[in-house]
Chains A and B, each alone.
Chain A
Amino acid sequence: MKNTSVSDCGKREDTIAAIATGMSGSGIGIVRISGGSAIEIADKVYRNKKNEKVLKEYDTHTIHYGFAVDKKGNIIDEVMVSVMKAPASYTAEDTVEINCHGGVMVMRKVLELVMEAGARVAQPGEFTKRAFLNGRIDLSEAEAVMDLIHAKNEFALQSSVRQLKGSVSVIVRELREKLLHEIAFIEAALDDPEHFDLESEGYGEVLYSLLDKTAASLHHLIQSSDDGKILSEGIRTAIIGKPNAGKSSLLNRLVGEERAIVTDIAGTTRDILEETVSLDGIPFRIMDTAGIRSTDDVIEKIGVDRAKDAAEAADLVLYVIDASVPLDENDRAVLEMIKDKNTIILLNKSDLPPILTEEDIRYVASHLSGNGKIIRTSMKEGEGIDLFLTSVKEMFFHGGITYNDEVYITNMRHKEALSEAYDSILQVQKSIENKMPEDFYTIDMMSAYASLGRIIGEEVGDDLVDEIFSKFCMGK
């Protein structure tokens, strides 16, 4: 049984939703809903001035003032809602767009309400895919549409794996493992009933209390996801540079700033220590802090391998160059490597007489794409830190980079998967309460297993059959 991801797309009447604008920058954003139940779903979260839910009565292509409300009727935001009925919409499906005004947090809340009302999170590129499949996009654009779906999914896949906290992935894996073991136990007994007997052991009760624990773990994870805690938010930042260029001084500066809030020192699954530092509200996850601080860095060269790893994983590369020493081959190799990254070059030791030539500086600059900047700093004096923070803000909150959007959407998908798993577990418990036969349990347990697999990017495949044969001695 492969995780039937294709049929997952048909869940919840196949109505999808997402934030259609970036979530940073201006406070105005659009939550877009598309699919057969779009209007019905929007009606659950929208009230007009007279507190009526009336969207379905409105004509197509009209826009309406009103409020986004939660389940209890509390107003979340002032909104403008546009209604576009099929087929005259971008996707050629019924589409509702909720224009929110209250900033990022409010927009997230509105999207969550929409999900609770029955939509599911759109897959990367899904609005465009639907538009194409429904004939709204010219056939000649097919290549572009395929590229977009491919690119967006690759990005989402990378970022979702990268963003998942090590501790969360450990919990999800453990939950899956336990579930699979129980499913295999039941299925082995169903497959070879003369060999294994379920009832004699009061198995239903044992399973019920086990599922209590599973449900509690899932509930906790869902709550964490509300606070954004299942993902490591923050800009993944790599500090690289030759020994004595000032890496650890930079780290100490960032962490030691009076305005810095250091929230977390944790070992991840990869055993790379990270520190999360918030400076002026900008969250940084500084990678490999242990490596930066280690003083026995006897290797003369920069550590090109480490730079490469960091460059691959990081959202932001801080390349510290000692301005009092000329560039060498290693510097050039590293610059080549990071030229497509968001990079800030810190020309450190501005308090010392600069040795770097104009040519050196030009060489460095030529390796910075639109995403790069050179700043002169003195860690000793604390110079350049403000300029550095300003550059980061420009880079991550005004430009084309939608780092936080991606984190957020990933979070929404994870939450959706967790909720589905949770619902499935409750359904199993209900089946036990209703004294249903055991073969009904595994149907929902398998769904929970598949949902959890989506979080860590794993299919179901032949997991069950493998587990049955490896753990239970089957057959005659």
Chain B
Amino acid sequence: MPEIREQVDICVVGAGHAGCEAALACARLGLETVIFTVSVDSIALMPCNPNVGGTSKGHLVREVDALGGEMGKNIDKTFIQSKMLNKSKGPAVHSLRAQADKADYSREMRKVLENQEHLTIKQAEVCELITEKVENPNPSEQLNPSDQSSLSDQSNLLGQSNSLGQSNLLGQSNPPRQAEEPELREPSESRERYRILGLKTHTGAVYECKAVVLCTGTYLKARCLCGDSITYTGPNGLQAASHLSDSLRKLGITLRRFKTGTPARMDGRTLDYSRMEEQHGDEKVVPFSFSTNPDDVQIDQVSCWLTYTNEKTHEIIRANLDRSPIYAGIIEGTGPRYCPSIEDKVVKFADKDRHQVFIEPEGLHTNEMYVGGMSSSMPEDVQLAMYRTVPGLEHCKIVRNAYAIEYDCIDARQLYPSLEFRKIKGLFSGGQFNGSSGYEEAAAQGLIAGINAAMSVLGKESLVLDRSQAYIGVLIDDLVTKESLEPYRMMTSRAEYRLLLRQDNADLRLRETGYRIGLVPQEVYEATLHKKELIDAEIARLKNTIVGASHEIQTFLEARGSAALKTGTSLAELICRPELNYELLAGIDEKRPSLPSDVIEQVEIEIKYEGYIDRQRRQVEQFKKMEKKRIPDEIDYDKIPSLRIEARQKLSTYRPVSVGQASRISGVSPADISVLLVYLEREKGKY
């Protein structure tokens, strides 16, 4: 029977936020790429909340942008309201969040994809991966266990902060290994390893390729629940992908079931906004992308609205709990604690007499309003009744019901930090499929998975960002190292070096990496270098400019409620005073150069928080030592009897790539790490 047979470099499965970044990265690196989606009309769909960014997620978008990704640029083109959150807090937790025009966001991203050279869009359900067994692992591919110290020689954009700005370009080849993880393996075929040869669509077309990136989001064996009404569809009633799961299982990939949910959408004309609090955007909008001209984003913004649930709402929910599929036990998937349904909130926080409800527009050209804070899987009649108890929603008409969705995903501990499957060479994955949640988390992983798929095809080292370099590093390290029982969401508290990983310096941290990979143009990289020079020069100038205790200075300080000087003091020291800042000191800073505002921002942060920042930099140096100690892929932990049994089991199962990663696995103690270091030292002596 005749069939379609195509040959390309890389296939990306899924065109959500992960898939788009993955496909764009591969194509931009010059590789022939096909992106598959069950619906071309749903490229970069936002099936849940109509925003991009938010606390810590805004950081991810900035990092994606700095590395050469698309999300930041796309939201800058399509936002309808923007806010910098936490502005009164420290710079580490400032986070940008924008309301998107959903349809516009999707359309603009599709346009970018359609116009990308080397990229083909294909509407098809992928149902099978084509692989071959790898018989004899090539020993030359094995990593040498010695420290990869050569990496630290690479030039560094952030200068003094030695450990930032570098990307860890690790060995690309992740060779097969004999010992297998007991918990993650399927009973049969457990010792087998594969190499990707291509994939097959439901219509029988075969695409031969060198790498596949799975970004299937919530579509695998998806099931949507609204009370006792169950449909086997993906989000928004879209076609689910019902075949691929079986193909993955056959390859020894362990799947699990996660669940998430979304609230109802209302007809905006039926809401009474006079009963809600209006929420405006910022007066001066800051763009997400470092490439966007700030003047281009000063648009007329729309408002969001705040209202609250009340006792009556909660009564209705409590009275109908037996009709909720979650409480009736119909839902098997694990849902996120940070994004609870309104049923969950009412049950778990019974002492709270009200919960916030945010009414947000879905776009400029639709009446639909998103009801943030009230996701639910209650039956339709209960939904309508409970929504109508909320002030402003008394006469609401529901356009789309709230629903919960269940889907297949993986425990990402089956992946290397490069997001390649340990068992299947050439198979990468990103996004909700990896057990995360959120558009931004998806985009970040999609970008890295795409880059590394490309690197593997090009025979180059893969890109692994560590926890001290980026939120992306924290995200991926957590996913591939730690046990997670719910969809993983980024939070600033997960980043132990968050003072260094700010959204304002993502360009200084990651532009160089993006440039070296080939996703950031040279002139952009050079502009970042220039910015860095200006920052360093200005910090040095402020530290070296001493003002004396002259009458003029004392009067100036007194007028600003600041203590008088006893001796000469540098301008930098004055900036450190809580009541003073860079701008205020203009009056006594005669030789101040004229600098762009983003340079001034960096100068001020670096000076004002220098003590804290330096402390974290020192911690990072220690952290780096352990990250650089590589663990050879073929290590046999059973040959290290001095490891405690629990540690030996965990290490054999999850096979960390570095001593640092090993130390973050629960159940591995500092003493086990010492033993491991001694063992590695001896092994090194054997080569």
Task: Judge whether A145 is part of the interface by a CB distance below 8 angstroms.
Answer: yes
Q: B665 — nearest CB in chain A belongs to which residue? A: A2
**Which of A16-24, A146-154, A247-255 interfaces with chain B?**
A146-154
- Write the A89-127 contact mask toward B (1 if CB under 8 angstroms, else 0): 000000000000000000000000000000000011110
Which residues of the partner chain B approach A475 to less than 8 Å between Cβ atoms? 336, 338-340, 373
B675 within 8 A of A: yes
Q: Please determine whether A439 and B93 come into contact, CB atoms closer than 8 angstroms.
A: yes
A129 to B642, CA, bound (A): 13
Are A191 and B89 within 8 A (Cβ)?
Answer: no
Minimum CB distance partner of A7 in chain B:
B622
Count residues on chain B whose CB falls below 8 Å from chain A CBs: 66
Interface string of B73-102 (1 = CB under 8 A from A): 000000000000110111011000000000
Does the CB pair A465–B671 fall under 8 Å?
no
With a cutoff of 8 Å between Cβ atoms, the chain B residues found around residue A124 in the complex are 671
From residue B485, how far is it (CB to closest CB) to chain A in Å? 10
Q: Which of A431-476 contact B (CB under 8 A)?
A: 434-440, 442-443, 459, 461-462, 464-465, 468-470, 473-476
Is A1 touching B681 in the complex (CB atoms < 8 A)? Answer: no
Q: Which of B482, B494, B663, B679 contacts A5 (CB 8 A)?
A: B663
Question: B355 near A440 (CB under 8 angstroms)?
Answer: no
Question: What is the bound-complex CA distance between A323 and B582, given in angstroms?
Answer: 88
* Known contacts A439-B89, A476-B372; A464/B493 CB under 8 A: yes
Query: Are B670 and A123 within 8 A (Cβ)?
Result: yes
How many angstroms from the CA of A459 to the CA of B336 in the assembled complex?
23
Interface contacts (Cβ under 8 Å), in number, total 164
Contact A473 B678 (CB under 8 A): no
Interface SS, B side:
mixed
Please determine whether A473 and B493 come into contact, CB atoms closer than 8 angstroms: no
Q: Whole-angstrom distance between the alpha carbons of A154 and B498 in the complex? A: 34
B675 adjacent to A149 (CB under 8 Å): yes
Assess whether A199 is interfacial by the CB under 8 Å rule. Answer: yes
Is the CB of A400 closer than 8 A to any CB of chain B?
no
Query: Which residues of B from 591 to 623 have beta carbons under 8 Å from A?
Result: 609, 612, 616, 619, 621-623
Contacts of A147 in B (CB 8 A): 641-642
Known contacts: A147-B642, A149-B674, A153-B671. The answer to whether A193 contacts B338 by CB under 8 A is no
Interface bin, chain A = 35 or more
Neighbouring A residues of B626 by C-beta, 8 Å:
6-7
B644 in contact (CB, < 8 A)? yes
Bound form: Cα–Cα A7–B673 in Å: 11
B664 contacts across to A, CB distance below 8 A: 2
**B residues 647-687 in Cβ contact with A at 8 Å:** 659-660, 663-664, 666, 669-671, 673-675, 677-679, 681-682, 685
Query: How far, in Å, is B314 (CB) from chain A's closest CB?
Result: 12
A145 to B621 alpha-carbon distance, docked (Å): 27
Given A125, A436, A476, which contacts B49 in the complex, CB threshold below 8 Å? A476
For B666, list chain A residues within 8 Å (CB): 2, 459, 461
Contact (Cβ within 8 A) B678 A465:
no
Contact residue among A4, A125, A143 (Cβ-Cβ distance under 8 Å from B496): A4
A440 touches B678 (CB 8 A): no
Please, which residues of chain B bring their CB within 8 A of the CB of A199?
88
Q: Is the CB of B491 within 8 A of A465?
A: yes
Query: What separation, in Å, do the CA atoms of A125 and B673 have in the docked complex?
Result: 13
CB–CB A2/B640 < 8 A: no
Cross-chain contact B678 with A142 (CB below 8 angstroms)? yes
- B682 and A476 contacting across the interface, CB-CB below 8 Å: no
B89:A149 contact, CB within 8 angstroms: no
Interface centre among B352, B373, B643, B671 (most CB of A within 10 A): B671
- Whether the Cβ atoms of A142 and B682 lie closer than 8 Å is yes
Inter-chain contact A125/B674, CB cutoff 8 Å? yes
Report if B349 contacts A (CB, 8 A): yes
Q: Check B349–A191 contact: CB distance below 8 A.
A: no
8 Å CB interface, A392-445 against B: 434-440, 442-443
Least distance between B600 CB and chain A CB atoms (Å): 19
A-B pairs, top 8 by smallest CB distance, nearest first, are: A153-B671, A10-B622, A146-B642, A437-B90, A142-B682, A469-B337, A7-B622, A150-B642
Could you list some 29 contacts between A and B, CB below 8 A? Answer: A4-B496, A4-B619, A6-B623, A7-B622, A7-B623, A10-B625, A124-B671, A139-B681, A139-B682, A146-B642, A146-B675, A146-B679, A149-B642, A157-B671, A190-B86, A190-B93, A190-B492, A191-B55, A193-B55, A194-B85, A439-B90, A439-B93, A442-B493, A468-B491, A473-B345, A474-B338, A475-B336, A476-B372, A476-B375
